[in-house]
Amino acid sequence: MKKSKALLGGGIGLLVGAAVGAAAASGSNGSNESSFQIFSDSEVMAMGAAAAALLGLGIGAAIGGIAGTDKTIQVEGKADSEVEEILEYLRKKARIPDYK
């Protein structure tokens, strides 16, 4: 059984999303035609980073969850030759490959 990688994927997605959001928000030139501005440039950068971080968190957690899913191998109802092939495959992944 594999451990879930959702937390790792979410963490990486959060960091990447925050960095991309901050970079995108700081890259805006802020040339607002009107003299009335609701948010300062640093507030816009923080909101952009937070929004992109949440998006990255969701995407990263989903990808990590998918990457951590178990693989099921069906042996029942297979011919003896197919079972031997499956066992050979599993033997390569075993902690003690030459165990008899």
Q: Looking at the domain assignment, is residue 25 inside a domain?
A: yes
Give the residue with greater pLDDT, 71 vs 83: 83
Instruction: Provide the domain count of the chain.
Output: 1
62: in domain: yes
Supply the angle between the helices 41-67 and 6-27 in degrees, to the nearest 10. 150
pLDDT digits (tens, 9 = 90+) for 31-63: 555 555 787 878 888 888 899 999 999 999 999
Q: How does the average pLDDT of the chain come out, rounded?
A: 83
Mean pLDDT over 63-88 rounds to 87
Q: Which amino acid is at 8?
A: L
- On whether residue 80 sits in a domain, the answer given is no
Domain membership of residue 52 (yes or no) is: yes
Domain enclosing residue 40, as ranges: 6-70
Does 50 fall in a domain?
Answer: yes
Is it the case that residue 88 has pLDDT exceeding 80?
yes
Assess if residue 95 is contained within a domain: no
| Residue 7 CA from chain centroid, whole number | 8
15 pLDDT exceeds 80? yes
Prediction pTM value: 0.60
